[in-house]
Amino acid sequence: MREQSTAFQDCYPDDYAHCYGCGHLNEQGLRIKSYWDGEESICQYDPPKKYTGGFPDYLYGGLIASLIDCHSAATASAARCRAAGIDLEAQALPRHVTAALKIDYLKPTPVETVTLKSRVLEITGKKVVVETTLSAGGMVRAKGEAVMVLIERNG
Amino acid sequence: MREQSTAFQDCYPDDYAHCYGCGHLNEQGLRIKSYWDGEESICQYDPPKKYTGGFPDYLYGGLIASLIDCHSAATASAARCRAAGIDLEAQALPRHVTAALKIDYLKPTPVETVTLKSRVLEITGKKVVVETTLSAGGMVRAKGEAVMVLIERNG
């Protein structure tokens, strides 16, 4: 069940909305959308057929890493707001960049709608650690752990 | 100095050449090319402008992960051939899939030509561990470690 209608990524300020994976201003990008679902965040994505791995019936591992990265970054920002009691839509989302990303590819992933679910393991100072599963056909296909770092940038 | 003119990826069999990152049969993909350069493997890639991160002057982290993943997979295959004394162009390259991928993002990467250099840390049975740096403007921007696993597939 989704708790709000505005995606995390739509709350990024415009100067941070150019990401190929999740920026609403990148017209050629993936434009993934993430939401709260209780304590977890969720993102569903239906990949274009061009994103195949070596075999044409498997999803590209680089896309799996990209989806986990972008969903984790948005989750980190939303979690920082939630921890501070700030409404997501009340102000621009704080910005995080990826310091480290670890993906375990557990099973081949078909080229069909995938579901990402993340939970926050830790928020400490500028750091947020996010754990993610990527599922398709009701099975977890990959797991990720991302270390996200809050950034300030003017201009 | 490149030791041969045929890229690793051009030695993949056709049924494994559909990868968005490196498949020569994926017409919409990145089609990266990797070569030996002494004990290291090297790949240079000039990213299209659409692959921006959150800020339009930085390269997309998901693309960085994708490049490291594909270059590592091809390096694993080429290294297995080299270890067995098999000429790269003499037969189809053995195929590896990614079991685990770890990326450390050290500095922002500009949207310009990047150079990936990899070396093999370990070849044990079906497993190959590959360590990679990604540089731009003469500085290392990201480091990766990939665990690649040899696969057999018929049909």
Q: How far apart are the first and last CA of chain A?
A: 37
* Chain A residue closest in CA terms to B145: A102
Residue A3 forms part of a structural domain? no
Q: Hunting for tokens 């790269």 — which residue is that? A: B88
pTM (predicted TM-score): 0.95
CB contact under 8 A, B20 and A69: no
Q: What mean pLDDT do residues A27-32 have?
A: 95
Angstroms from B119 CA to nearest CA on chain A: 19
Summarised one tens digit per residue, pLDDT across range B62-98 is 999 999 999 999 999 999 999 988 888 777 788 999 9
Residues 36-65 of B with CB under 8 A from A: 50-56, 60-63, 65
Distances (CA, A) of A95 to A8, A67, A74, B95, B135: 11, 17, 8, 39, 24
Using an 8 Å CB-CB cutoff, list chain B residues near A73: 54
pLDDT at A89 over 80: no
Angstroms from B151 CA to nearest CA on chain A: 12
Residue A54 is nearest to which of B19, B51, B61, comparing CB atoms?
B19
SS3 track for B80-135? HHHHHCCCHHHCCCCEEEEEEEEEEECCCCECCCEEEEEEEEEEECCEEEEEEEEE
pLDDT at B151 over 60: yes
Residues 61-100 of A with CB under 8 A from B: 61-63, 65-67, 69-70, 73, 95, 97-100
Distances (CA, A) of B60 to A30, B105, B116, B152: 12, 11, 15, 33
Contacts of A10-17 with CB under 8 Å at 24 or more apart are A11/A77, A11/A88, A11/A89, A11/A92, A11/A93, A12/A77, A12/A92, A12/A93, A12/A95, A12/B54, A13/A92, A13/A93, A13/A95, A15/A153, A15/B55, A16/A95, A16/B54, A16/B55, A17/B54
Of A55 and B37, the one with more pLDDT = B37
CB contact under 8 A, A54 and B20: no
Residue B61 forms part of a structural domain? yes
Domain that holds residue B51: 8-151
Q: Count how many domains chain B has.
A: 1
Q: Hunting for tokens 């990213």 — which residue is that? A: B47
Summarised one tens digit per residue, pLDDT across range A96-155 is 999 999 999 999 999 999 999 999 999 999 999 999 999 999 999 999 999 999 998 654
pLDDT at A50 over 70: yes
Residue B2 forms part of a structural domain? no
Structure tokens given for A26: 């990148």
Using an 8 Å CB-CB cutoff, list chain B residues near A19: 52-54, 60
Residue A2 forms part of a structural domain? no
Percent of chain A having pLDDT more than 70?
95
Using an 8 Å CB-CB cutoff, list chain A residues near B153: 55
| Cα distance between residue A96 and residue A72, in whole Å | 10
Residue A135 forms part of a structural domain? yes
Q: Hunting for tokens 């990152």 — which residue is that? A: B21
Using an 8 Å CB-CB cutoff, list chain B residues near A107: none
Looking at residue A2, its pLDDT comes to: 53
CB contact under 8 A, B52 and A103: no
The answer, for B150 touching chain A at a CB cutoff of 8 Å, is no
Distances (CA, A) of A16 to A20, A47, A96, B10, B52: 11, 23, 10, 37, 10
Residue B3 forms part of a structural domain? no
Percent of chain B having pLDDT more than 90?
81
CATH code for the domain in which residue A47 is found:
3.10.129.10
- The three-point CA angle B134-B115-A54 to 5° equals 80
Residue A1 forms part of a structural domain? no
Looking at residue B134, its pLDDT comes to: 98
pLDDT at A45 over 80: yes
Residue B133 forms part of a structural domain? yes
